[in-house]
Amino acid sequence: MGKSSPLIPSIYAWDTTCVNLLGCPYVIQPLIAGHDLQTLYSPLSGWRDTIEIRIKCAYEVAGYIQHIESFRFENYGTFAVSAQTPEKCSDPSSPRVSELIGFSPKPWAKSYFMRNDTRIGSFLFAILTAHLNRSRRPLEQEKYNLLITMGCKLNELQVAHRLEQKVEPAVLWHPDFWPRNIMMEKTEQDVKITGVIDWDGVMIVPRVMARRPPVFLWDEGDLNLSEYERKVIKFQFDKRIEELLPGYCSDAYSDCRIMARAMATYALKGVSWNYCELSFDELVEQWDYFVENL
């Protein structure tokens, strides 16, 4: 996929065995220019950015989100590697990985609801029922039962047209899209994303899952921003992303969409997943309040 996107690192060579000079599997990728955003934003960097630079950074992130959403797939799932994939490729002049291994999304469940453009409620129902018989500790099972109840209720409300009948395109999701993995070049006048790293665990998901807003641009504790600056950066990001992807802010910020995103994340990652947008206990509390006030 790196071949078709300048922001996703290419893979030039790999060895999935331990029969090499390193004695372990390896991958060779190009060095991404710049520094990670976490380092650039750190107060220890000694550089207090102007609000204009922070806004340009927000614009860059908005552009990246639009770019990643431009990749579309036939179904939700994980990437499956072709059986024809060679164990080794050490010739830098050979075709790129995508041409050799033929990435394709492998659905999480054998269900009609794994296809592209499915409602989030139907997707949740399919995932939760497919994982029903997995072994769990007692506390995890108790939480999973609650998740099933919430997911089924969400699906029921959508089927009954009491919630928006919104279908979800299948899009790329980087589960760890965070400053430490965002590489940027920065001058006193401008910033530019040069690449995003650490694509381990990338998935193809319903679009609402990929629309968790990049709050690290304005709402992380160590940014050294005033309340006014935080609001300005968020406003400018929201304005730009709505121009690029109309409807993004509704997916990102509305209570129902936040809860749906959390349910889907816990369904895929497990109920013990450390999901900072909405903890499991907060999800249960907010969902109960939401249902009671329908």
- For helices 138-159 and 255-269, what crossing angle results, to 10°? 140
Q: Give the pLDDT score at 100.
A: 57
pLDDT band at residue 101 under the 50/70/90 scheme: low
Q: Give the pLDDT score at 28.
A: 87
Q: Give the pLDDT score at 48.
A: 60
Report whether 280 contacts 143 (CB < 8 A): yes
Q: Tell me the pTM.
A: 0.88
**Which domains, ranges and CATH numbers included, belong to the chain?**
33-75+112-292 (3.90.1200)
Question: How far is CA 286 from each of CA 84, 145, 263, 278, 283, rounded to the nearest angstrom?
Answer: 47, 17, 12, 10, 5
Q: Give the pLDDT score at 43.
A: 54
Q: Give the pLDDT score at 44.
A: 47
Distance, in Å, from the CA atom of 91 to the CA atom of 61, rounded to the nearest integer, reads: 34
pLDDT band at residue 210 under the 50/70/90 scheme: very high
Nearest residue to 79 (alpha-carbon basis) of 98, 94, 62, 64 = 98
Q: And the tokens for 26?
A: 């390896």
Distance, in Å, from the CA atom of 269 to the CA atom of 263, rounded to the nearest integer, reads: 10
pLDDT > 80? residue 94:
no
Collapse the DSSP code of 133 into the 3-class scheme (helix H, G, I; strand E, B; otherwise coil) and give the result.
coil
pLDDT band at residue 85 under the 50/70/90 scheme: confident
> H/E element holding 192?
strand 191-196
Distance, in Å, from the CA atom of 196 to the CA atom of 236, rounded to the nearest integer, reads: 22
